[in-house]
Amino acid sequence: MARVIELGSELLRTDLFLDNENYLKKLKFLKELKSENEIEILHIKALESWREGRYINATEIWEELLKIDSLDVIALKFAHDAYFYLGQSNNICSSVEKHLNIYEQDDHVPMELYGYFMGMLAFGLEEVHRYDEGMKAAIKAIEINQDDAWALHAIVHINEMRGEIQKGIEFMKLEENNWANCQALACHMWWHFCLYLMDQGKKDEILKIYDEKISIFIESITPLDLVDASALLFRLYLEGMIEKNDNRWEKVRNQWKNIIHSHALSFNDAHITMVFNNRLIHEEIINSHIQSLENYTNSKSNDVNHTCALVHQQVGIPICKAINAFNDSKFDETIQLLKDVILPGKTHLIGGSNAQRDVFELLFLHAIFNSPNKENHPIAKSLLDKRLEKKPHSGQNQRLVQRFENATTKQ
């Protein structure tokens, strides 16, 4: 099982090219050990499915393992991460929730482990907008394990989604010692902190955190950290707070170059596209990235279960092209590409959290504001109304409304 954990963690980092020969050898070696243990055999099958790009099949096997044993924490954690990458919010929640009775009543569940289950449940509840229940589960989790960064992260999300910005900032400051040392999540938590500051329009404070915290984390080439750095710079750019030639972009670009042809996750590809933002300088890499993404997707088109390629095809490639078009100031092209993703409600397919995916709606809105064509203004108005309904006091929403008004009155 130690090898299963090692190989599963490697795959779920999402930086690996799925057809990587070295990884294939390691998986082959694991199979050749010919385990007779049914659980291990299923775990290896799940890894094989993921490695083959059949992400949904992999989650089905992890669920099968959880039917056999609700306390298979490896299956539970891998499924939890997988659902996150697949944007399957309901499953992030239900895969933990359906075992809750056992977690609460089985005397064999150590209290510490029960706390971590609560942390996972809290995040799942947040992603399906059950904020009160999510908050209760997260508080229970941190009462048991005060440095459970995933549970703290769930509270950070709840404050973000409720638009409780100052409360969120105070909570993160108060709990900083309990999350800032969590290597896997610290960078992401700083990104969340910057999101609050972004709402308040505090550009200088955001850039200070970017330079002193986030920029350091991205030296490790962890996709989650690179995604955060890229998304933050892109959000700042959308708001006109930094320029395309700001020197911060370069370090992120250089880090992404190491894994630019992985294509294991559309979400990563979209963030890669955000940082290669100047066609005059990056023409070759922009073209080779999109070409390689399309080639990879086409090469798997015969496999109807290849979730990875299907997601690239349905949302990943259109979103990457939309970002490229925006960076080329082709705003109508961005709008057309994103209309087919955002309006039918397909954005979640790209994965990540609700808070992370908001960057795509922001991109859509800014493209509409920047376009001289006003025919999409009713769509922008409808999206803005929904945003204001959810977060009436959001500074970011107020700025978007102002931009919309400027766009409508522009001749």
Chain positions contacting Fe ion, by CB under 5 A: 353
Structure tokens at 376: 């999409």
Q: What sign has the CA pseudo-torsion 17, 23, 28, 31? A: negative
| Beta carbons within 10 angstroms of residue 123's beta carbon | 26
Amino acid at site 106: D
| Beta carbons within 10 angstroms of residue 80's beta carbon | 22
Contact partners, residue 291, CB within 8 Å, separation at least 6 = none
CA 145, CA 141: separation in Å to the nearest integer?
6
Write down the least CB distance from residue 234 to Fe ion, Å: 16
Q: Which residue is nearest to Fe ion (CB)?
A: 353
Give the residue with the Cβ less far from Fe ion, 43 or 153: 153
Write down the least CB distance from residue 205 to Fe ion, Å: 19
Write down the least CB distance from residue 327 to Fe ion, Å: 25
Contact yes or no for 20/39 (Cβ under 8 A): no
Give the residue with the Cβ less far from Fe ion, 277 or 353: 353
Give the residue with the Cβ less far from Fe ion, 206 or 286: 206
Q: What are phi and psi of 193, to 5 degrees?
A: -60, -40
At residue 277, the 3 state secondary structure works out as coil
Write down the least CB distance from residue 351 to Fe ion, Å: 12
Give the residue with the Cβ less far from Fe ion, 159 or 353: 353
Give the residue with the Cβ less far from Fe ion, 66 or 158: 158
CA 72, CA 65: separation in Å to the nearest integer?
7
Structure tokens at 321: 């092209």
Give the residue with the Cβ less far from Fe ion, 72 or 160: 160
- In which residue are the tokens 């549970």 written? 151
DSSP label at 314? I
Write down the least CB distance from residue 89 to Fe ion, Å: 13
Write down the least CB distance from residue 398 to Fe ion, Å: 24
- In which residue are the tokens 């694991």 written? 30
CA neighbours within 13 Å on the CB side: how many for 36? 0
Write down the least CB distance from residue 200 to Fe ion, Å: 19
Give the residue with the Cβ less far from Fe ion, 89 or 353: 353
